[in-house]
């Protein structure tokens, strides 16, 4: 098959429209989205992707109804409970980016169980972006860097691009090679702004619950036809 990107990031969008199309509730759409995510995680391991980052809940998604927000986190707990053993058997390392400590307690506990259980694994790095927004991430980095400068641990002229990267949630994670967004929307919606400076973007009209391993491979194929120059010739 085509060249497999080392790091794929996905904006999993379109659960609500999928639900509407099938006469279901938005939460049934999110449930179907969790099932799609499960398959894509498995297929990422099969393909030999090293890092998969999924956008599951943004800092702006709190604007939705309380019922939808709490329903999404309940589905997340259900997913973790059902899948953790299998993720672990498949050697997956689970990681969370974003301020997940302000999620409901049951979700925080489920996430921490998965981080602890899979910490020693060596397979696919599966990063879940939860209560994640790039602007909040960058503000947080600036605050930490300011403290380091004030405490004399860092000089101003030592603030390089690589130092900034080290203060982001994604420190130790390579930049995404490919960013996929489903559902036909063509925007980042505050996802990995700094990290995707030289990523390739593939947009597909498929709604996230319908995003299959075959469609995933088609996106990777599209990526493998791109010519990445990084500003060089
Ligand atoms: C993506 O699907 C999941 C989250 C943002 C949590 P949406 O819920 O945004 O689905 P649409 O965009 O309304 O179809
Ligand atoms: C982006 O989708 C966030 C996630 C997929 C988690 P949204 O549906 O929230 O984005 P907008 O509102 O269409 O930009
Ligand atoms: Mg959406």
Q: Which residues pair with 97 in a beta bridge?
A: 129
Could you tell me the CA-to-CA distances from 4 to 48, 72, 79, 145, 196 in Å, in that order? Answer: 7, 31, 27, 35, 17
Task: Tell me which residue has its CA closest to atom 11 in ligand 2.
Answer: 189
Taking only Cα atoms into account, the Rg of the chain, rounded to an integer number of angstroms, comes to: 18
Token pair listed for 197: 């400076």
Is residue 157 one of the residues assigned to a domain?
no
State pLDDT tens for residues 31-90.
Answer: 999 999 999 999 999 999 999 999 999 999 999 999 999 999 999 999 999 999 999 999
Please name the residue that has the structure tokens 């991430």. 137
Say how many domains are in the chain.
1
Question: What is the CATH number for 113?
Answer: 3.40.1180.10
State pLDDT tens for residues 205-226.
Answer: 999 999 999 999 999 999 999 9
CA of 122 to the centre of ligand 3 (A): 32
Ligand 1, CB within 6 Å, residue ranges: 12-17, 57, 61, 72, 183
Is residue 148 one of the residues assigned to a domain?
no
Does residue 137 have its Cβ closer than 6 Å to ligand 2?
A: no
Is residue 140 one of the residues assigned to a domain?
no
The string of DSSP codes covering 113-145 is HHHHHHTT--S-EEEEEEEE-HHHHHHHHHHHH
Once rounded to an integer, what is the mean pLDDT over residues 88-111?
98
Is residue 190 one of the residues assigned to a domain?
yes
> E strands of 3-99, at which residues?
7-11, 51-58, 93-97
What domain range is 97 assigned to?
7-133+176-224
CA–CA dist 13, 229 (Å, integer):
29
Token pair listed for 55: 């956008």
Global pTM value: 0.98
């Amino acid at each position: 098959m085509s060249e497999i990107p080392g790091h794929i990031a996905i904006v999993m969008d379109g659960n609500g429209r999928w639900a509407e199309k099938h006469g279901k509730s938005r939460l049934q759409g999110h449930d179907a989205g969790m099932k799609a995510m499960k398959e894509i995680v498995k297929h990422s391991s099969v393909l030999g992707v090293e890092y998969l980052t999924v956008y599951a809940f943004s800092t702006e998604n709190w604007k939705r109804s309380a019922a939808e927000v709490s329903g999404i986190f309940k589905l997340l707990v259900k997913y973790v409970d059902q899948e953790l053993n299998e993720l672990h058997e498949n050697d997956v390392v689970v990681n969370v980016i974003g301020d997940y400590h302000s999620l409901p307690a049951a979700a925080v506990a489920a996430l921490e169980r998965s981080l602890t259980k899979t910490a020693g694994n060596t397979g696919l790095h599966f990063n879940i972006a939860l209560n994640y927004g790039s602007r909040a991430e960058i503000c947080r980095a600036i605050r930490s860097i300011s403290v380091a400068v004030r405490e004399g641990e860092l000089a101003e002229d030592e603030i390089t691009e690589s130092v900034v990267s080290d203060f982001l949630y994604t420190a130790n994670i390579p930049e995404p090679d490919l960013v996929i967004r489903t559902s036909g929307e063509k925007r980042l919606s505050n996802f990995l702004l700094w990290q995707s400076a030289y990523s390739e973007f593939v947009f597909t009209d498929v709604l996230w619950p319908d995003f299959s391993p075959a469609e995933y491979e088609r996106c990777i194929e599209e990526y493998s036809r791109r010519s990445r120059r990084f500003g060089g010739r």
